[in-house]
Amino acid sequence: MRPLVHRSPMPGLGLSMGITLTMLSLVVLIPIGALLLKGANYGLAGIWETVNRERVWAALFLSFRLSLIAALFNLVFGVLLAWVLVRYRFPGRRLLDAAVDLPFALPTAVAGISLTALYAPNGAFGVLAGEIGWKIAYTQWGILIALIFVGLPFVARTVQPVIEEIEREVEEASATLGATRLHTIRHVILPMLLPAALTGFALALARAVGEYGSVIFIAGNIPLVTEIAPLLIIIQLEEFNYDAAAAIGIAMLLISFAMLLVINLIQVWSRRRIGHV
Amino acid sequence: MSDATFRPATEETPLARRILIGLAVTGLLILVFAPLVAVFVEALRDGIMASLESLASRDAWAAIKLTLTIAAISVPLNAIFGVAAAWFITKFDFRGKAFLITLIDLPFSVSPVVAGLCIVLTFGANSAMGAWLVDNGYPIVFAMPGIILATMFVTFPFVARELIPVMIEQGRAEEEAALTLGAGGWRVFWTVTLPNIRWALLYGVLLCNARAMGEFGAVAVVSGKIRGETATIPTTIEMLYQEYLSVAAFTLAAVLALLALVTLVLKTLLELRHADQLAATHRH
C-alpha cells in the first residue's frame, strides 16, 4: 500500500498541510457540512416536501432553463471571440481582449443595476426594443441578458489557449488534401476545440444557475414567472424559515455537484482523447 | 504564437474575416461596453456635484470603510491559504491530491447565496455553535466576522488556483539545490520560491481583491444589511437603488466599476510583462 504522504526532503510539510486543512475546513467544509447535516436532520422526505411545490419547481426550472440557453449562446459567441482574438490582427484587438474579462471583474450588483438601466422601458436599449413591442427588463429576456453577461468570459478564456496551440501544419495538410476552408474548420479545427469549449460551457452553466446579484434587479421577481432559485432561498431566510431555505439550498448544491462531476468527466475524457488539456 | 505569416490556404476569405470581426466587436459593444458606459452615464445624470455629494453621505462612507476593512482582512488570509495550499500540493506527494484540489475549487461552483446560507446555518443564532458564540459576545452572522467568512468562501480558490500550475511547472529542483547548500526552510521560501511566484501571487491577489470588494449574494445573506454597520458597498448600492436614489446608487457603482477597470489594466499589464511567470492559460 502506498504511504499516505511520501517522504520528502522538502521542509514545511506540517505547516503547509496544517494551514491548508484548517482553513479549508473552517471556511468551506464545515459550513457546507452544516447545510448537509441540516438536510440529513430534515430527512429526504422533508426536503422533497419543500422542494416539491409549484413555486420551487418553477424557480429551479427557470434558473436551469435560462442558464442553459445563456451558456449555449456563450458557447457559440465564446468560440467566435476566441478565434477572432487569436487569429486576426485589427486595431483595438488588445482592448477587446481585455474587455472579455470585464464580466469577471465588474461586481454583480453593479452589472445588475446597469443592465436594468439599459433595458428598462425608458433605458437606451429598452426604448429601441419597445418600438417593436419587445419588453426585455422585468421579463425572462432580462434574466437571459444578465446570465449571458456573467457567463461571457468562460468559453472564450478556455478556448483561447487551445487555438493558440493549434499547429498551422494541420490546417495546411487539410488544405493540401483538397478540403475547403469551411470543411477544415468543421472537421479539423472545431473537434480540437470541443473539449475546452465544453469545459467553458459547463463552467458558464454552473455560474449562471447560482447567479443572484446581476439577475434580481432586472428580473422583476414575479413568483412562477421571473423568480430565480437563489432568490427563493433569500425569501425563506428573511422569513426565518431555515428548514425550507436549507432544503432548496441542498437541491441547488446537488445540481452544482452534478455539474462539477460533469466538468471533471469532460476533462478526463479530453485528456484521453488528446493527451493533454 | 499566432504571429506566423499568413498563408492563403489556411485563412478565411477577407469577407468572412470581416464578418467575424464585426460580429465579435458588435457583440462585445452591446453586451460588455454598453453596461460599463451606462454606469457612468447614470452616475453623472445630475452633474458631477450631485454624485460627489451622494458619496460624501455618512452611509456611503461607512460602506466604503467596511468594504475596505473586509478586503484588508480576507484577501491576505486567502493569500496565506493560497501559498500554503500550493506549497503543500506541489512540493509533496500524497494520496488524495486530486480530491483536495477539487475541494479547494468547490466554492467556484457553489452559488454565493448557498454559500451565505451555509454560513448562516453554521454560525447563526439558531445553530448550537452560533448560540454559544452570541451568548459569549461574539456574534458572527449579521456582524463583521460573518461578512469576512462569506467573502473568504467565495474568493477561496483564487490565489491557490493561480499558484498551483506555476509551481508545478517550476518543479522542485531550485528548492532542492538551496536545501543541499544548507538553507533552512523559511530561507528557501523567501529567497527561492517567493521570487519565482511573486507575479502569479500578485495576479491571484488582484482577482481575489476585485471579487472580495464586489461580492454581493453571499454578503447580502449573512450581513443583515444594517445601514452604517454591516452594509458593504454592493449591499448599499442595492438599498439605494430600491429607494429610487438612482444617482447615489450609480455613483457607488461607478466607484466599484473604476476598481474593476484598474484591476483589468493591472491584470493586462501583468499578462504583457510577466507572461512567462504566470499560469500558462494567461499567456497570450
Contact A220, B104 (CB under 8 A): no
DSSP B203-220: HHHHHHHHHHHH--HHHH
Q: Does A173 touch chain B (CB under 8 A)?
A: no
Q: Which helix (H) or strand (E) holds A269?
A: helix A242-274
Query: Could you tell me what percentage of chain A is helix, strand and coil, using 3-state DSSP and rounding each to the nearest 5?
Result: 80, 0, 20
Architecture per CATH, domain B48-282, reads as Orthogonal Bundle (1.10)
How high is the pLDDT of residue B65? Answer: 95
- CB distance A28–B77 less than 8 Å? no
Tens-digit pLDDT profile for residues B42-91: 999 999 999 999 898 998 999 999 999 999 999 999 999 999 999 999 99
Q: Does A94 touch chain B (CB under 8 A)?
A: yes
Q: Which of B31, B81, B281 sits opposite A20 (nearest CB)?
A: B81
Mind listing the pLDDT tens digit of every residue in chain B (284 residues)?
A: 454 454 466 778 889 899 999 999 999 999 999 999 999 999 999 999 999 998 989 989 999 999 999 999 999 999 999 999 999 999 999 999 989 998 999 998 899 999 999 999 999 888 888 889 888 888 899 999 999 999 999 999 999 999 999 999 999 999 999 999 999 999 999 999 999 999 999 999 999 999 999 999 999 999 988 888 899 999 999 999 999 999 999 999 999 999 999 999 999 999 989 888 888 777 65
10 Å CB burial of residue A69 (0-12, 13-18, 19+) is middle
- CB distance A88–B81 less than 8 Å? no
What the block records as the C-alpha cell of B92 is 509533496
Distance CA B56, CA B53 (A): 5
Q: Does A232 touch chain B (CB under 8 A)?
A: no
Residue A55 has pLDDT above 50, yes or no: yes
- Residues of chain B with Cβ-Cβ distance to A149 below 8 Å are 31-32, 35
- Residues of chain A with Cβ-Cβ distance to B33 below 8 Å are 99
Site from A15, A28, A228 to mutate, B interface, most B CB atoms within 10 angstroms: A28
How high is the pLDDT of residue A277? Answer: 41
- CB distance A260–B283 less than 8 Å? no
Phi, psi of B12, rounded to the nearest 5 degrees = -75, 160
Q: How many residues does chain A have?
A: 277
Q: Where are the domains of chain B?
A: 1-43, 48-282
Contact A74, A155 (CB under 8 A): yes
Distance CA B239, CA B246 (A): 10
Q: At residue B62, what is the residue type?
A: A
What the block records as the C-alpha cell of B210 is 476585485
CA dihedral A272, B105, A31, A214 (to 10 degrees): -110
How high is the pLDDT of residue B279? Answer: 84
What the block records as the C-alpha cell of A119 is 433595458
How high is the pLDDT of residue B163? Answer: 96
Distance CA A270, CA A192 (A): 10
Comparing CA positions, the residue from A152, A57, A63 lying closest to residue A99 is A152
Distance CA B113, CA B109 (A): 12
Residue B93 Cα, gap to closest chain A Cα (Å): 6
How high is the pLDDT of residue B9? Answer: 67
Contact A119, A125 (CB under 8 A): yes
Comparing CA positions, the residue from A257, A141, A151, A166 lying closest to residue A201 is A151
Using CB atoms and an 8 Å cut-off, which of residues 43-72 of chain A contact chain B? none
What the block records as the C-alpha cell of A234 is 433569500
Domains of chain A listed by start with CATH number = 43-274 (1.10.3720.10)
- Residues of chain A with Cβ-Cβ distance to B36 below 8 Å are 102, 106, 114
Contact A213, B113 (CB under 8 A): no
User: What ipTM does this complex have?
Assistant: 0.90
CB atoms within 10 A of CB B92: 18
How high is the pLDDT of residue B189? Answer: 95
Tens-digit pLDDT profile for residues B86-114: 999 999 999 999 899 989 999 988 999 99
- Residues of chain B with Cβ-Cβ distance to A111 below 8 Å are 35
Residue with the three cell numbers 458606459: B37
Percent of chain A whose pLDDT exceeds 90 = 63
Site from A1, A7, A10 to mutate, B interface, most B CB atoms within 10 angstroms: A10
Question: What mean pLDDT value characterizes chain A?
Answer: 90
Residue with the three cell numbers 498563408: B7
